[in-house]
Amino acid sequence: MTKEKWEEIKGQVKDSFGVLEEKKEELELGPGEKEIILFNGPLGKMKLEFITRPVVLDKRAIASRRIGSHRTVEYIYSDTEKSYTMKAYKWDEEQNDWLEMEAGKTFQL
């Protein structure tokens, strides 16, 4: 997925279905952001998420040799390179929750 393809899909959604809600959020785990679009699509209420993260360059495990100590992982991120992911969800009335769909089958990727 590229940023240009995301803009193209977002434009198609806006033209075809109209947008119920559009927002950006910071990611809870690690640096990055996600752009969210809610709309009424052919399968009912749908949600698209476009996630932008910096590329992980290195990963270091930091641990102590003492008994009972915990281990942490430190990530080193790129300042220039980004990775992009798109996820598609459909609202399920029975479960009252979002169900993830295969975005490639739903949208022409």
Rounded Cα distance between 87 and 107, Å, is 11
Q: In this predicted model, what pLDDT tens digit does every residue of 37-71 receive, in sequence order?
A: 999 988 899 999 999 999 999 998 887 777 767 78
Q: In this predicted model, what pLDDT tens digit does every residue of 80-107 receive, in sequence order?
A: 999 999 999 999 999 999 999 986 655 5
State pTM to two decimals: 0.81
Q: How many CB atoms lie within 10 A of CB 14?
A: 13
Handedness of CA 35, 39, 41, 46 (dihedral sign): positive
Rounded Cα distance between 103 and 101, Å, is 6
